[in-house]
Structure 1
Amino acid sequence: MNDRAIRSLADIEHLEAIPLEQRLAGFASSYDVFRRSAELWPNATAISFLPQGIVDEEALRISYGELFANVTRAANLFYSLGVGPSDVVSYLLPNLPQTHYALWGGQAAGIVNAINPLLDAEQIAALLNEVSCKVLVTLGPSAGPELWSKVVALRDKVPSLQSVLLVQEPEPPEETLSFDVELAKQAHDYLLSGRRIGRDDIAAYFHTGGTTGTPKIAQHSHWNQLANAWCGTVAVDLGPQDTLLCGLPLFHVNGVIVTGLAAFMAGSHVLLAGPMGYRNRAMLEQFWQLVERFQVTAFSAVPTVYAALMAVPRGEAELSSLRFGICGAAPMPAALIRQFEQATGIRILEGYGLTEGTCISAINPRDGERRPGSIGLRIPYQQMKPVLLDEQGRYVRDCAVDEIGVLAIRGPNVFAGYTQEEANRNLWIDGKWLNTGDLARRDADGYLWLTGRQKELIIRGGHNIDPALIEEALMRHPAVQLAAAVGKPDRYAGELPVAYVVLREGQSVSPEELVDYARSVVPERAAVPGEIYLVDSLPLTAVGKVFKPQLRYDATERVFRALLEPSMNQTLWRIKVGPDPVYGVRMQIMPAAPMAARAQITQAVHEVMAGFSLSYELIWID
């Protein structure tokens, strides 16, 4: 795709001298990516699939010619079931080759809708109804009994659902079809529909953030996906020489775009490392051996995966093929980056993206200067800037260098909005720029640094949790008057949910009882708060809204008081967390220690803080 990866902002500006429409003149849709790759590399391996994700099993290899044929078959199968350009094919699947067939074939026939199979039946039904799903592709009773039980529970709750296709189920139950059997019956070299897909046609729906009663559905056009895939390949110089390990789920945009469409556009080899990917402990324990066997050159993961891999012995595995790892979804502690790179010799490229921007918006340069803690430089054709807004969310001005503001983005990868009009209110700044809800600053060289969040999502191991999911559940308890959920820092997960609760007058319930109650009523297991703090009142803004930053500061102080106490050697000390004009949030650690004890305390504090991305300073009190 490119003779070298991007090194600086000047390289990006040089690329942008040619319009993106000209660079992608041969592409109108994601389907064209597979057609072109099959023409260029028909016999090259597109996907190697490991059924269990372990190193010594035989891999199923799928060539680019076979991949295009099966995507075409899937599109024709969906067309035969009545799917047109505005109809929705949903898939509820782990990482399988058939997931790719359904995903890209669904986009060639109509609109594809990716759903997290870990959600409960009620949440899945809400998502299917929100998009008026016509066809569902999932696992049946033999291949996925737990998933099948959810489908059985929700089928009658989705009036629009006309057909259910079951993967790896040659003899499906009544009123369902075998995806694999039906696929084999279809034409493989042309679209029966004769559809001419336009760049502005909607390709996919992805649900975003946590899942409350009204899930937000982001719309991706074919042009959004093409633009993001091309820019991603150029940003890190992907090509046919690369093998990308896919361990992130294919219901998430990172798995779909970074280790999916971008790789296929570049003619790269994708190692589909088992149905559960990184969730499979056996795969993680053999990660380095998988790298050696398949000569993996790159992979994408979240900070929790990198932390877990640090504990996996590398043994005699030869890792010279690995060029880089991509990290996104949540901030990664700079110390973890240094430790990982020193231990493995692998460069970590921190980046930033969101579903509303298709996937990736910024990344540290592969061959240029990487600045740990930053999200790097914007990708080509993606505009990004921090801006100041007034109290009504209206644009005031662009931020100066190193001034914190709301991160705004625009470009060909930025979506046109959610399916629900009410969700689009206050989404756009000045009518043109997407309000990401993140706070950031931009340094003099164009590197961007996240400094906090204007939006209130809790990010646990790269998984977005809507605090409303927790708050609404807790508020159903008869003793609870008010509840507010925020994330507390965690060395492994990045953030864990906690909740602050005000009880009704005269009521009595323990924090432990409320945690037990939350386990029974919060529908998303990852969203259950591990701790609940009973308080007399919640901090409020001038207009009476709960002031979440103050709760996050308090939760942070609680975590680090416990972690740092052993380091203080019984010295008097205090801690303060609050806003910072450059770092967004900063912690002050203030020990009253004699000079002789300061070196030991300093070292101990640095060791504790090395696992976190939080900015801090030691202030000695005489």
Structure 2
Amino acid sequence: MKFHNYDDICRFEQETQPDLADNTYELILKSASKNPGHKALTFYLQPKDYKKNASWTYRQLIAEINAAANMFRDLGIRDTDVVSYILPNTPETVFTFLGGEAAGIVNPINPLLEPEQMAEIMNEAGTKILVTLAPFPKTDIWEKVSSVLNKVHSLKTVITVDLGKYLGFLPRLIVKAGQKKMRMSGSVPVLDFHQTSRKYSREMLSFQRTIRPEDTASMFHTGGTTGKPKIALHTHRNEVANAWALSQYINLKEYKTFFCGLPWFHVNGVMVTGLAPLSGGHGILLGTPAGYRGEGVIRNFWKTVEYYKISFFSAVPTVLQMLLQVPLKGEDISSLDLALCGASPLSVKLFQDFEEATKLKIIEGYGFTEGSCANAANPPDGERKIGSIGLALPFHFMKTVILDERSGGYIRDAETDEIGNIVCRGLNVFPGYKDDAHNKNIWVNDGEHLWYNTGDLGRRDADHFYWITGRKKELIIRGGHNIDPNSIEQPLSRHPAVAGVAAIGMPDKKSGELPVAYVQLKKGMTATENELIDFSRQHITEQAAVPKHIFIIDELPLTAIGKVFKPLLSMKIIKKVYEEELSGIPGLPACTIDVEQDPKLGMKVKITTGMLTEAVRSKINDAVGGYAVKYEILELQPDTLF
């Protein structure tokens, strides 16, 4: 069925009974039984050699999953035991994720985290087996991981993936020579993934296990990087339902190739370009271990699309911005059907520029780790409202509600176009966090159902499209990467001259947002912005969270109950960014810039100026149109301007 509007989704939900597999292993088995010879997975190691690849049919993929699951089981993994992996995007990452869920529970961990954070997550998850990367050029994963293995007390076995397998003969020998110096860690045995897995049956699972839909399938780390790790539990039903809804919504009938450039430690990579295409019998192309971050991946992207006949890719606005810098030079990209963009707001200008340059349809979407991944998207076959996150996916329910400011309790549903808290429920929504302390106040009871409070503010228009207008949870989203303000505020607050600190996101054309901080100094003490930034670099463990700027102000704005009022600081930084952008436009009359809370759009910039020529108006759009913050121009006659 093709989805054009909200009525189509309602009709589909009334007429359809979801035919869901009980677990992710069964999900892949079904696809394999229908299309055993179809190519399921393709991988290329180096961007410049994108034509040189390794591939697996569905029959071969099942064999690799069986071998991985049997290996994990033999090494002691039982139904509730955890296999963690700290890996880039490799075929073995896919085998580990799916084989780990068949044998026990999987816990993906971001390889870009600092070693101490990795150890904290593994301890919180109760990691029994860790799959990670053996030493390999231009990666520091093994160096980081090996330094903290002795701090993970539940760890019994380490399994390393050797990417040298995908190199030619001479480069492989060089990598092998480097691996001989690999440091082992205490008494924890370190095994080779390929050498060990080949010992196990590929024909079938060699153990008996009934995997129920409500069983935990995975544990995804989410939230900030300070304090006790927040781990979201996904059931098999959560992941299967989300994959099924995505494949139904995209409505691809014939075999297609999905490019996976987002990491498999994040739900977007795993679900949108992993389980969703696999549930429909389609193919996944893993574009280098580093995905979009790989040197040369963006530069060769259009050639790669042409060579592999790619139909779909998922990205964040930063990726689209980079792809715009690589003009098409005659490549045939007619195979492309859709690009899904999410994680952070997409500016109208970027949307229009990208579609004009590529003639490719962009679908803006919305999701969150606690909802398995995708929860809403603009309809692929209907009207797409630029700037909205679209319609709730089939059987993925959303609404906006008004909550009590103090207790967080439900008061009523929000009216059409009234800003409220976005809440969600459905088969995709997780049962909760591993640590029950993190489950406090995350559910909203409307008297009929329990809804997950996303922490996002938004509105629903008359056509049931949703629009994000703000975030109560205050995350800073840098290029699709979530940064908890606490990971900036807590270290900075330890500076002896700092009395108070508030971290927020500064609008950025490339990354969506960059972290900045406002600091109030203790009375009688001094510090410069450079001193505080140097202090941040030394004490903030996540490099992406180091503030781009630190502004020293006399007094942080506070609410009536003494909390920092961050919206005022957000208005301040937005105004500063827009003033700097507009100051360099020749021919622009004197103007004022005001930032206000619009009842429909959230933060909005109002540019009040004199009468403009079309050329100057175009330059304004070029200067500020790339930001996700909406703006309007109010032109006044000179005698009424000020």
TM-score between the two structures when normalised by the length of structure 2: 0.93
- How many angstroms does 1:312 deviate by? 0.4
Q: Alignment partner for residue 549 of structure 1, among 529, 554, 567?
A: 567
Q: Which amino acid letter does the alignment assign opposite residue 442 of structure 1?
A: R
Contact 2:24 2:240 in 1 (8 A): yes
Q: For residue 455 of structure 2, what is the aligned residue in structure 1?
A: 437
After the TM superposition, which residues 91-490 of structure 1 pair with which residues of structure 2 at under 5 Å, given as runs?
91-142=85-136, 146-168=140-162, 175-391=189-405, 392-430=407-445, 432-490=450-508
CA-to-aligned-CA distance 1:155-188 (integer Å, 9 cap, x gap)? 1111001100001178885530011111111111
Q: Which amino acid letter does the alignment assign opposite residue 526 of structure 2?
A: S
Q: For residue 6 of structure 2, what is the aligned residue in structure 1?
A: 9
- How many angstroms does 1:551 deviate by? 1.0
CA-to-aligned-CA distance 1:161-216 (integer Å, 9 cap, x gap)? 11000011788855300111111111112222210100000000001122112121
Contact 2:47 2:295 in 1 (8 A): no
After the TM superposition, which residues 579-598 of structure 1 pair with which residues of structure 2 at under 5 Å, given as runs?
579-591=597-609, 593=610, 595=611, 597=612
CA distance in 2, matches of 1:217, 1:528: 23
Q: Alignment partner for residue 522 of structure 1, among 505, 517, 540?
A: 540
CA distance in 1, matches of 2:377, 2:139: 40
Q: For residue 567 of structure 1, what is the aligned residue in structure 2?
A: 585
Q: For residue 605 of structure 1, what is the aligned residue in structure 2?
A: 620
Q: For residue 167 of structure 2, what is the aligned residue in structure 1?
A: none
Q: Which amino acid letter does the alignment assign opposite residue 434 of structure 1?
A: Y
Partner SS, residue 515 of structure 1: helix
Partner SS, residue 604 of structure 1: helix
CA distance in 2, matches of 1:134, 1:240: 40
- How many angstroms does 1:38 deviate by? 1.7
Q: Alignment partner for residue 595 of structure 2, among 577, 584, 606?
A: 577
Contact 1:126 1:213 in 2 (8 A): no
CA distance in 1, matches of 2:334, 2:254: 18
- How many angstroms does 1:520 deviate by? 1.6
Contact 1:451 1:584 in 2 (8 A): yes
Q: For residue 53 of structure 2, what is the aligned residue in structure 1?
A: 59
Contact 1:6 1:368 in 2 (8 A): yes
Unaligned runs of 5+ in 1: none
CA distance in 2, matches of 1:38, 1:287: 29
Percent identity for Structure 1 against Structure 2: 44
Contact 2:224 2:487 in 1 (8 A): yes
Q: Alignment partner for residue 80 of structure 1, among 48, 56, 74?
A: 74
Q: Which amino acid letter does the alignment assign opposite residue 253 of structure 1?
A: V
Flag the 1:182–1:580 CA change in 2: closer, same or farther, 3 A: same
Q: Which amino acid letter does the alignment assign opposite residue 152 of structure 2?
A: V
Flag the 1:145–1:59 CA change in 2: closer, same or farther, 3 A: closer
CA distance in 2, matches of 1:522, 1:387: 36
Q: Which amino acid letter does the alignment assign opposite residue 252 of structure 2?
A: L
Q: Alignment partner for residue 19 of structure 2, among 17, 23, 29?
A: 23
Identify which range, 363-372 or 143-152, moves more after superposition: 143-152
Partner SS, residue 284 of structure 1: coil
C-alpha RMSD of matched pairs (Å): 1.6
CA-to-aligned-CA distance 1:323-349 (integer Å, 9 cap, x gap)? 110000001011111111111110000
**1:558 pairs with 2:584:** no
Q: Which amino acid letter does the alignment assign opposite residue 12 of structure 2?
A: L
- How many angstroms does 1:143 deviate by? 6.4
Flag the 1:618–1:144 CA change in 2: closer, same or farther, 3 A: closer
Flag the 1:570–1:41 CA change in 2: closer, same or farther, 3 A: closer
CA distance in 2, matches of 1:93, 1:120: 14
**In the comparison of the two structures, how many residue pairs are matched?**
613
CA distance in 2, matches of 1:239, 1:487: 41
Q: Which amino acid letter does the alignment assign opposite residue 115 of structure 1?
A: I
CA-to-aligned-CA distance 1:118-171 (integer Å, 9 cap, x gap)? 001001001001111000000122467611111221111110011000011788
TM-score between the two structures when normalised by the length of structure 1: 0.96
Contact 2:51 2:307 in 1 (8 A): no
